[in-house]
Structure 1
Amino acid sequence: MRLGQAIPERPGTTLRRLIREQAPLIVPGCYNALSARVLEEAGFPAVYMSGYGSSLALLGLPAAGLSTLTETAMNARLIAAAVKVPVIADADTGFGNAINVVRTVEEYIRSGLGGMHLEDQVAPKRCGHVAGREVVDRKEAVGKMRAAHATRQALDPEFVLIARTDSRGAHGGSLDEAIWRANALLEAGGDLAFVEGPKDMAEIERVCKEVKGPVFYNMTGISPRMTREQMASLGIAVTILPGVTMRASIMAMYDLAVAIRDKGPIAEAEFNRKLADHPLGNTHEFAGFDRIRALEEAFLPPETARKYEGTLGHVPRRAAE
């Protein structure tokens, strides 16, 4: 929710409606409040907080179980507060056992999220498309989902729980095991099943056919790329593209930094000329200075507006303009 705006319906309620109406719901990944706002401005009805992107953006570290619940929940809270659309967030392993999962769900719901996914990796975990993953046993995985479901029911039954299993690509893993776990986790309270890392279309087709509930698909890493029409024909409910904005940001920042290094400060002027024609080229407007001035006009004394007279720099528009 942005500054001064009314509270809409609960994020989980909105997310459930979007999943019903738009399947497949396409949800790009963000890694902080700024990237979430860019995605919202581009017209996406929901956004996804990438665990990989959060770890790299906040800590400069890989997604290898190094970020804490406090850090991750803080990022989720800031993202949810910055946008009006519902946010789905990576919750890793729940940051411990079933008891830790209870607190994780509590923190995520109170952060204003629409949903989260919980995985069955051993802690510390690692990115689902990096080798060397291990998973907990079936009993522990199911117990953690039961704990997540019970907590969700007590606080916000509309909050969406996505049951993720990494057993397909884990050490000694198989697709048969992943499908068994996906169904068991759905039965334990998950709303959607997330089988991480199917390696080809044949495996995706098996997942969609044999999983007894809505499928959540991660189109990244080794997973095959598909069109919206292909996903709809398979019955996929939600597809995330978690790291694309992060990678785009890394590439753009690096390329500009190299240009400044090689050409000097004039490269920044060249960049500004390109930015001027971009839909988000006016950074001051995008940041929300017009909204700040509108709030000033609504709630501060009229003489407050005098500070804009005879000054230099960007002048926010008045509410009546």
Structure 2
Amino acid sequence: MESTSTSSISPASLLRRQIATKDEIVVCPGVYDGLSARIALHAGFKSLYMTGSGTAVSRLGMPDIGLTTLNDMRDNAALISSLDPSVPLIADADTGYGGALMVGRTVAQYMRAGVAALHLEDQVVNKRCGHLRNKELVSEDEYMSRIKAAVNMRTKLDGDIVIIARTDALQVFGFDVALNRLKMAISLGADVAFLEGIRTLEEAERVCKELHPTPVLYNMVQGGVSPRLTVSEAQKIGFKIIIFPAIASRAAFLSITKSVQYLKETGDFPDETAHVGPASLYSVCGLDEAMEFDKAAGGKSYEGGI
């Protein structure tokens, strides 16, 4: 059951308030489906991040090498954002999935899906995960066309979505070129800067300093190329948003692998999962709320409980 929470404040406005809150950093666990999102919401997170990598591996069963389409990403974002509209969702939008017209369509569909923010990057359409090697980038002009198309569509629809400019130019062209791309994107109307593949603490500190007061996002990928930063460490450096895109998918990969291997070897399930009955799982996914809604409408299906 989707959340019954209502608010006159748009998801983008909620996120803008979080970003603007002094002495705080927006912390977003990466989620990739309804269950991972429900678990993060149950834990009390006030914002979420929909990972493109997690979407690729969960919805397609394929690696993050540019195989997901706009429809794959939009549908997943719409599902996640609908669970609790009071918790803003930042969603990966890859390259925008084409030229300026497709970027505009992507922005419009993400806005209609209730997404608070999206990030657009400067890789070629057949992109790959930002923490893999040998990435190919489009020209500066083509990247700026993507950002301008996103900003123009937001204006045309008279709505709001936070536009995050991501560049992967650091690995390909170096820090100065990457920084210049971000500065140009900001001048066109991007709200947040995202330097992908940061390699050192010095680069992390410099990008925050050079782009201040524009908010900068840090991508904390487990096992990736960037330095491992805690929330407090990232905040101290100057980042206003930190995402942990692989926090759920890596945990699921490890736990499911362990459980199915145990089943294969022993013919039984691991003891640590024995206490997790259906009610425990469904409770995190909104069971109590659904029962209360049914009761308020005069339903009697759950009078005896579950």
Residues 23 and 236 of structure 1 are in contact (CA less than 8 Å); yes or no, is this contact kept in structure 2?
Answer: no
Structure 1 counterpart of 2:75 = 74
Structure 2 counterpart of 1:45 = 46
**Structure 2 residue aligned with 1:229, among 225, 228, 232?**
232
**Structure 1 residue aligned with 2:287, among 261, 273, 289?**
289
Question: d(CA) in 2 for partners of 1:229 and 1:29?
Answer: 18
**Structure 2 residue aligned with 1:126, among 113, 128, 135?**
128
Structure 2 counterpart of 1:312 = none
**Structure 2 residue aligned with 1:161, among 127, 138, 163?**
163
Q: How does 1:136-151 map to 2 (within 5 A)?
A: 136-151=138-153
**Structure 2 residue aligned with 1:305, among 296, 300, 303?**
300
Q: Which amino acid aligns with 1:214?
A: P
Structure 1 counterpart of 2:256 = 253
Deviation per residue, 1:4-54 (Å, 9 max, x gap): 333452100110111112632111100112111111111110000000000
Structure 1 counterpart of 2:242 = 239
Structure 2 counterpart of 1:262 = 265
Tell me how large the CA RMSD over aligned residues is: 2.0
Point out the structure with max Rg over C-alpha: 1
Residues 23 and 238 of structure 1 are in contact (CA less than 8 Å); yes or no, is this contact kept in structure 2?
Answer: no
Q: Kindly tell me: are residues 156 and 283 of structure 1, through their superposed partners in 2, closer, same or farther at Cα, counting changes over 3 Å?
A: farther
Q: How does 1:34-113 map to 2 (within 5 A)?
A: 34-84=35-85, 85-113=87-115
Question: d(CA) in 1 for partners of 2:283 and 2:219?
Answer: 33
Mean Cα deviation higher: 106-115 or 287-296: 287-296
TM-fit CA distance, 1:308: 5.5
Segments of structure 2 that go 5 or more residues without pairing to the other structure are none
Q: What is the TM-score of this pair, normalised by structure 2?
A: 0.92
Structure 2 counterpart of 1:178 = 178
Q: Kindly tell me: are residues 54 and 227 of structure 1, through their superposed partners in 2, closer, same or farther at Cα, counting changes over 3 Å?
A: same
Q: Which amino acid aligns with 1:248?
A: A
Q: Which amino acid aligns with 2:144?
A: V
TM-fit CA distance, 1:209: 1.8
Deviation per residue, 1:237-262 (Å, 9 max, x gap): 10111112100011011111111122
Residues 205 and 238 of structure 2 are in contact (CA less than 8 Å); yes or no, is this contact kept in structure 1?
Answer: no
**What secondary structure does 2:300 align onto?**
helix
Question: d(CA) in 2 for partners of 1:307 and 1:215?
Answer: 48
TM-fit CA distance, 1:299: 2.0
TM-fit CA distance, 1:143: 1.3
Deviating runs (4+, > 4 A) in structure 1? 306-309
**Structure 1 residue aligned with 2:119, among 117, 120, 142?**
117
Q: Which amino acid aligns with 1:132?
A: N
Q: Kindly tell me: are residues 259 and 141 of structure 1, through their superposed partners in 2, closer, same or farther at Cα, counting changes over 3 Å?
A: same
Identity %: 37
**What secondary structure does 1:305 align onto?**
coil
Structure 2 counterpart of 1:4 = 4
Structure 2 counterpart of 1:215 = 216
Question: d(CA) in 2 for partners of 1:197 and 1:101?
Answer: 23
Question: d(CA) in 2 for partners of 1:4 and 1:299?
Answer: 14
**What secondary structure does 2:30 align onto?**
strand
**What secondary structure does 1:168 align onto?**
helix
Residues 170 and 196 of structure 2 are in contact (CA less than 8 Å); yes or no, is this contact kept in structure 1?
Answer: yes
Question: d(CA) in 2 for partners of 1:226 and 1:102?
Answer: 34
Q: Which amino acid aligns with 2:196?
A: E
**What secondary structure does 1:239 align onto?**
strand
Q: Kindly tell me: are residues 210 and 249 of structure 1, through their superposed partners in 2, closer, same or farther at Cα, counting changes over 3 Å?
A: same
Structure 2 counterpart of 1:319 = none
Segments of structure 1 that go 5 or more residues without pairing to the other structure are 310-314, 317-321
Q: Kindly tell me: are residues 63 and 270 of structure 1, through their superposed partners in 2, closer, same or farther at Cα, counting changes over 3 Å?
A: closer
TM-fit CA distance, 1:2: 2.7
